Amino acid sequence: MTLDNKSGTADRLTGASSDVADKLQIHEMKVENGVMKMREVAGGLPIPASGSVVLKPGSYHVMLIGLKKPLTVGEKFPLTLTFEKAGNISVTVPVQAMGATEQKGGMGDMHDKQGGGMGHMEMK
């Protein structure tokens, strides 16, 4: 999913929510010493003015924690993204199989079913 900031003002993705999970966090993945590590982005994900940030497996992504029901690949679910300046924006995210680049960790199944998303979202 590409977050496309059409405004001339820098913004920040500070959170996300959805009916399908208890909690959603903005995560980033980085390779350190050959090991893929994942952590929550502290203070939100910056989106430059007139720029874009790509959310995808192996990089920045929205992590679903505490799924209320199993998600099936091919299914779509609504997601609300919260931005510091743009406010709440709702998107529909397709559920995709996890990319081969993404390592399985302790978060197991939740991460498998995370929607990588091919969508494109414009912030006005």
Q: Which residues bind Cu ion (CB under 5 A)?
A: 27, 38, 63
Q: How far is the CB of 117 from Cu ion (least distance, A)?
A: 14
Give 47 or 55: the residue with its C-beta nearer to Cu ion. 55
Is 38 or 55 the residue whose CB approaches Cu ion more closely?
A: 38
DSSP reduced 3-state for 112 = helix
Distance (Å) of CA 105 to CA 19, 24, 37, 69, 95: 24, 17, 9, 20, 19
Distance, in Å, from the CA atom of 35 to the CA atom of 88, rounded to the nearest integer, reads: 34
Task: Compute the least distance from the CB of residue 87 to Cu ion, in Å.
Answer: 24
Kindly state the smallest distance separating residue 63's Cβ from Cu ion, in Å. 3
Q: Which of 49/73 has CB closer to Cu ion?
A: 73
